[in-house]
Amino acid sequence: MEAVQTEKGQISIHTENIFPIIKKFLYSDHEIFLRELVSNAVDATQKLNQLASFGEFGGELGELKVTVSLDEEAKTITISDNGIGMTADEIKKYINQIAFSGATDFLEKYKDKTDDKGQIIGHFGLGFYSAFMVAEKVDIVTKSYRDGAEAVRWTCDGSTEFELTPTERADRGTDIILHIAPDSEEFLSKSRLQGILDKYARFLPVAVEFDEKVVNNTNPIWTKSPADLTDEDYKNFYRELYPMGEEPLFWIHLNVDYPFNLTGILYFPRIKNELRFQREKIQLYSRQVFITDEVKDVVPDFLMMLHGVIDSPDIPLNVSRSFLQADSNVKKINGYITRKVADKLNELFNADRKGFEEKFDDIGLFIKYGILSDDKFWEKAKNFVLLKNTEGVFTTLDEYREKVQANQTDKSETLIMLYTSDRKQQDAYIESARRRGYDVLLMDNVIDAHFINALEQKLEKVRFQRVDADTLDKLIDKGLNNESVLSEADQTKLKEVFEQVLDNKMLHVSVEAQPTDELPVTITMPEFMRRMKDMSALSGEQSFYGNLPVTYNVVVNANHPLIGKVLAESDADAQKAVVKQVYDLALLSQNMLTGADLTAFVKRTVAGLV
Ligand SMILES: Nc1ncnc2c1ncn2[C@@H]1O[C@H](COP(=O)(O)OP(=O)(O)OP(=O)(O)O)[C@@H](O)[C@H]1O
């Protein structure tokens, strides 16, 4: 092998001052220099391992590892490995030419896209030259694994000139010595470096030592075969990922190698009803190197609430987000994850229905969100998504149809599914529905308003009605009219009396013949109008429906004995008092009687009893 001659040279690039630009560009994310250099060191040791397994390296492998060391006085950070090392020629090729062209490519591509900055950073493996984000000078001291190789030192001060000289190094491997620039001295801190390593190096496949401790778990369970793992292993790993997290409900081990490579574990956390701020996020790795926990485009939106890790070398990390969305691998990964999650849920449902029901309060939110956002997911989920009624009984969509079909089909052959969004407030209505043998579904999750809309579109001849949207005869209109004990004229008179006493334009009074066990007066808000108002409240935007005044229907039960009394009462004051009382009772039964009206009602009632 030729002896190394001291050599000075010019790094061939077109941009004169590449480093100030790199610095400016990556300002917010300087810390990734360590990820890049440690990854390179890991690669170098793994390459040696591979050569040994091919029989191309006959020497002693020893304990392969990467060491990060800090010298606060000398103001250096050194990343050392005992991997393949480089010869002088390799340095010229890989560092002077290839690595540099990577850096220039980066600049060429992103020079003018300052607005996209935050998204490029962290997705772009800047490689070796990211060292110059924090260093004013970088030395490489390296010795190739090849027999008789000579050690070389490469030095570059951040200009486009480098120096290559022969040097001494006892064993094969590489030291990257960073002479930290004055504006980057924050990195000359043990805790800072520890923090960066904890974030990026946590699961690197080769031991990384810092401060005399190994910082990583080189064999995270996602790289193992599910057959070799117990439930306890999965739970332990969850705790390792999220030390503060509650125990997960269950998990999915992802493992695919065609048409793309992906491994990982997704955990279903307990979330109940609240869409609470999620501190724990899915982490994205590429060959065990942490990349980001902003997985927005890689994981389907509705699964963002899951926890865990995804590792794929096939996710392009060196492009901006808009490109990521269009990437066909990313799309396939999205589809794959959705399918796996649906299959897993289906499997759980079939294997242990009871267990599935017990978990449904937690996982229902994912499932419903998935149904709303992904038709392919719906195709599978329609078999296992559950409806829960006010008695706590769970049924699938098909089971429910079967169950209520006979009693809750209206005259237009539409199946009416009754529901409550607040079982306490709507208790009187729920009770009425039950008395007629109707079933009432509990739809009290934040997502249910949207879920109901989606089901109405997906299921044929099904409509949802909230129990307080109308009187039961109208909610499920079977075309059977109750006989009214009152004549037309009496009904008109009654309507006038109520309108006069209530004296409120926002109330629409009507008189209907209902069974005598219904309340004398019922207050309802039409389903359509309420939904529109709810939706516009949820979206927080001004809208036509949101701005409409609230109007209610006041339905007077013509057949109720008390109403007969109202009609027969000849004393105007006494009549007014009863009207007021039955109306307040209706308000009361719906939690709508509050404040001064409630106080007056209580006073009046007490006075009437003494
Ligand atoms: N510690 C090291 N030991 C041996 N070779 C190294 C080491 N660090 C870098 N190299 C060589 O230098 C080359 C360029 O490194 P650089 O990090 O710039 O790019 P890369 O690793 O190929 O790609 P990436 O942009 O993903 O990091 C590497 O491919 C490798 O051949």
Structure token pair of residue 79: 């990343």
**Which CATH number fits the domain that encloses residue 154?**
3.30.565.10
Domain range spanning residue 545? 488-609
| pLDDT for the residue numbered 19 | 62
42 lines ligand 1 (CB under 6 A): no
Beta strands in 467-571 (DSSP E): 507-512, 521-524, 552-557
Q: How does residue 133 score in pLDDT terms, banded at 50, 70 and 90?
A: confident
The domain total for the chain is 4
The answer to whether the beta carbons of residues 415 and 404 sit under 8 Å apart is yes
Nearest residue CA, atom 30 of ligand 1? 94
CA of 453 to the centre of ligand 1 (A): 54
- Choice between 58 and 409, residue whose per-residue pLDDT is larger: 409
Judge whether 8 lies within some domain: no
**Which CATH number fits the domain that encloses residue 417?**
3.40.50.11260
Judge whether 359 lies within some domain: no
Average pLDDT estimate for 68-77 = 98
Average pLDDT estimate for 60-77 = 96
Sign of CA dihedral 232, 236, 241, 247: positive
423 plus 299 within the same structural domain? no
207 plus 241 within the same structural domain? no
Judge whether 374 lies within some domain: no
* 174 marked ligand binding residue: yes
**Torsion angle (degrees, nearest 10) of CA 88, 89, 95, 96:** 110
CA of 40 to the centre of ligand 1 (A): 5
* 7 marked ligand binding residue: no
User: How many other CB atoms are found less than 10 A from the CB of residue 374?
Assistant: 20
Q: Final residue of a domain: which of 414, 448, 475?
A: 475
| pLDDT for the residue numbered 532 | 83
Is the pLDDT at 100 greater than 80? The verdict is no
| pLDDT for the residue numbered 206 | 97
CA of 164 to the centre of ligand 1 (A): 17
308 plus 419 within the same structural domain? no
- Choice between 24 and 327, residue whose per-residue pLDDT is larger: 327
Q: Final residue of a domain: which of 421, 447, 475?
A: 475
463 plus 576 within the same structural domain? no
- For the CA of 98, the nearest atom of ligand 1: 14
Cα 326 from Cα 332, distance rounded (Å): 11
Average pLDDT estimate for 189-196 = 97
Judge whether 158 lies within some domain: yes
CA of 43 to the centre of ligand 1 (A): 8
CA separation, residue 201 to residues 20, 58, 64, 204, 586 (Å): 27, 29, 16, 5, 65
| pLDDT for the residue numbered 5 | 74
Amino acid code (one letter) for 143: K
CA of 94 to the centre of ligand 1 (A): 7
Give the bridge partners for 289, in sequence order.
Answer: 286
Give the bridge partners for 203, in sequence order.
Answer: none
The answer to whether the beta carbons of residues 156 and 138 sit under 8 Å apart is yes
Q: How does residue 428 score in pLDDT terms, banded at 50, 70 and 90?
A: very high
29 lines ligand 1 (CB under 6 A): no
Beta strands in 475-526 (DSSP E): 507-512, 521-524
Give the bridge partners for 78, in sequence order.
Answer: 69, 177
CA of 210 to the centre of ligand 1 (A): 21
233 plus 201 within the same structural domain? no
How confident is the model over 481-508, as pLDDT tens digits? Answer: 788 888 999 999 999 999 999 999 889 9
Is the pLDDT at 408 greater than 50? The verdict is yes
Q: Final residue of a domain: which of 444, 475, 506?
A: 475
236 plus 347 within the same structural domain? yes
The answer to whether the beta carbons of residues 205 and 46 sit under 8 Å apart is yes
How confident is the model over 438-466, as pLDDT tens digits? Answer: 999 999 988 898 999 999 999 999 999 99
Could you tell me which of 162, 161, 312, 296 has the C-alpha nearest to residue 223?
A: 312
Nearest residue CA, atom 11 of ligand 1? 94
Amino acid code (one letter) for 331: K
466 plus 513 within the same structural domain? no
Judge whether 202 lies within some domain: yes
Structure token pair of residue 174: 């590489």
Percent residues over pLDDT 90 in the chain:
61
Is the pLDDT at 121 greater than 90? The verdict is no
| pLDDT for the residue numbered 397 | 97
How confident is the model over 212-244, as pLDDT tens digits? Answer: 999 999 999 999 999 999 999 999 999 999 988
Cα 318 from Cα 126, distance rounded (Å): 8
| pLDDT for the residue numbered 59 | 87
| pLDDT for the residue numbered 20 | 61
Q: How does residue 319 score in pLDDT terms, banded at 50, 70 and 90?
A: very low
CA of 141 to the centre of ligand 1 (A): 14
115 plus 229 within the same structural domain? no
Structure token pair of residue 411: 């005259």
CA of 128 to the centre of ligand 1 (A): 6
State the average pLDDT for the chain: 87
- DSSP H stretches of helix in 201-327: 231-241, 321-326
Q: Is the peptide bond before 166 cis (omega within 30 degrees of 0)?
A: no
Nearest residue CA, atom 10 of ligand 1? 40
**Which CATH number fits the domain that encloses residue 319?**
3.30.230.80
Q: How does residue 146 score in pLDDT terms, banded at 50, 70 and 90?
A: very high
128 lines ligand 1 (CB under 6 A): yes
Number of residues that this document lists for the chain:
610
Average pLDDT estimate for 407-417 = 96
- For the CA of 176, the nearest atom of ligand 1: 1
**Which CATH number fits the domain that encloses residue 503?**
1.20.120.790
Nearest residue CA, atom 26 of ligand 1? 125
| pLDDT for the residue numbered 161 | 82
Structure token pair of residue 172: 């094969």
Average pLDDT estimate for 184-189 = 96
Our mutation pick for probing the ligand 1 site, out of 106, 120, 128, 178, counting the most ligand atoms within 8 A of Cβ, is 128
The answer to whether the beta carbons of residues 527 and 466 sit under 8 Å apart is yes
The answer to whether the beta carbons of residues 203 and 220 sit under 8 Å apart is yes
Is the pLDDT at 303 greater than 50? The verdict is yes
Q: What is the predicted ipTM?
A: 0.97
208 plus 281 within the same structural domain? no
How confident is the model over 238-283, as pLDDT tens digits? Answer: 999 998 888 899 999 999 888 888 999 999 988 754 555 566 789 9
CA separation, residue 442 to residues 18, 276, 409, 532, 590 (Å): 62, 21, 19, 20, 17
39 plus 158 within the same structural domain? yes
312 lines ligand 1 (CB under 6 A): no
Is the pLDDT at 514 greater than 70? The verdict is yes
| pLDDT for the residue numbered 326 | 67
* 279 marked ligand binding residue: no
422 plus 553 within the same structural domain? no
Judge whether 360 lies within some domain: no
Q: How does residue 536 score in pLDDT terms, banded at 50, 70 and 90?
A: confident
Could you tell me which of 161, 179, 134 has the C-alpha nearest to residue 16?
A: 161
Cα 66 from Cα 173, distance rounded (Å): 10
Is the pLDDT at 469 greater than 90? The verdict is yes
Cα 36 from Cα 197, distance rounded (Å): 11
The answer to whether the beta carbons of residues 52 and 43 sit under 8 Å apart is no
| Helix, strand or coil, per DSSP, at residue 436 | coil
65 plus 85 within the same structural domain? yes
- For the CA of 36, the nearest atom of ligand 1: 27
Cα 130 from Cα 313, distance rounded (Å): 20
Q: How does residue 118 score in pLDDT terms, banded at 50, 70 and 90?
A: very low
| pLDDT for the residue numbered 117 | 43
| pLDDT for the residue numbered 106 | 56
Judge whether 334 lies within some domain: yes
Is the pLDDT at 112 greater than 60? The verdict is no
Is the pLDDT at 109 greater than 50? The verdict is yes
* 17 marked ligand binding residue: no
Judge whether 36 lies within some domain: yes
Provide the pairing of β-strand 65-71 with 207-210. Answer: parallel
